[in-house]
Structure 1
Amino acid sequence: MSSTLPALLCVGLCLSQRISAQQQMYDTPTLSVHPGPEVISGEKVTFYCRLDTATSMFLLLKEGRSSHVQRGYGKVQAEFPLGPVTTAHRGTYRCFGSYNNHAWSFPSEPVKLLVTGDIENTSLAPEDPTFP
């Protein structure tokens, strides 16, 4: 009986540490875009994926039929420069952190990038001369 108690304590401690490690391992990264989510065609943007749990690789994914994946590296944050952007870049983006080749974080909350117009064509005057 005396050897059973230490064995049970060891099992409980090991399970506790494993559950704690799993809770830390699968954190959710934060995704942001600068200068902001609404830009004019021709501008440059940078996505920042941040995960407070130490990691080595990040992925930025554009959702949709032709999903585009970019890979970035950093211990806590990765930068994903994009641009000059066109309307083809608009869409919803998410990022993931990788702890190793087999363990990934949960996906970030989505960030929607809106790209409008041309940088040279930003006049406030109407283009149609017959417009009242």
Structure 2
Amino acid sequence: MHIRIENQLPIAELSLQYLNHEPVELNHVLIDTGSAATVLDTDCASEAGVMFHVLSGKPAKMYGVGGQSEWVYQQLIHDISFNHVTFPSFTIQLGDIQGQYGFDAILGTDFLKRYGLTLDFGLIS
């Protein structure tokens, strides 16, 4: 995963693949240790084949700095791959973060902790 610092934020580039759909390149993914949940932009999700599942998902609120909240759709997804590493199941939030914040996705602490990922700022150029 290529990570760069942009406006003092760690931004990653990664490939997203869902089931047997074609991979989608996400070039503006925020790695956010202050975010409890991982959020995927709805347009990027749709392009990758991830769709809202009314029966298995539910509306939820995403809270940001200052307590502002926005509605997202939270659901369990199976067989999602980031940079060719497949995760068998993961609960993700889907929301309009590209239009609101300019990110394709936000990798939150739920993702980082579950998969034992660490971020070493000393290695990021």
Pairwise TM-score range, normalised by the shorter structure = under 0.3
TM-score (norm 2): 0.25
TM-score (norm 1): 0.24
Q: Which structure dedicates a bigger proportion of its chain to strand?
A: 2
Flag the structure with more relative contact order, 1 or 2, with Cα contacts below 8 A and sequence separation at least 6.
2
Q: Larger C-alpha radius of gyration, 1 or 2? A: 1
